[in-house]
Amino acid sequence: MDARYERLARNEARSRDVNEGIAAWSSRQGIPPGEKIEFYCECGDQECFERVALTREEYEAVRTDSARFAVLPEYVNPEIARVIEEHDGYVVVKTAADLRGIVEDMDARRASNA
């Protein structure tokens, strides 16, 4: 496995960690269901600080699988992920099978369920 691809997968997972904090914060703040929240793009580019507007419910739908990430359409990296869903303003990508172990190992939700 190419070290560059591994780094990109780790960056995806780190972006998700930040978004987990945003999701928890929005829940504590009592942000109503259906209201958009500014999450970070989970594209894997460590220099990307673009925002993806999702409801908490949309974010949770992405999080049903450790290998799924919310990305702005123009930030899809076909070298490490493929688009599996298209939505207004964002797409959901799934990390390549050979990188799945990395993103699963770095998923705090998965670790807490183990």
- pTM of the predicted model as reported, rounded to 2 decimal places: 0.91
Could you give the angle at the alpha carbon of 37 between the alpha carbons of 33 and 40, nearest 5°? 140
Residue at 112 is within a domain: no
Determine contact, residues 34/57, Cβ cutoff 8 Å: yes
| Residue 1 pLDDT | 64
Q: Model confidence over 12-63: pLDDT tens digits?
A: 999 999 999 999 999 999 999 899 999 999 999 999 999 999 999 999 999 9
Give the domain range for residue 99: 3-107
Average pLDDT, integer, range 96-110: 93
Determine contact, residues 93/76, Cβ cutoff 8 Å: yes
Length of the chain: 114
The dihedral built from the CA positions of residue 56, 61, 64 and 69, taken in this order, carries a sign that is negative
Residue at 79 is within a domain: yes
Residue at 113 is within a domain: no
Residue at 51 is within a domain: yes
Q: How many domains does the chain have?
A: 1
pLDDT band at 95 (very low <50, low <70, confident <90, very high): very high
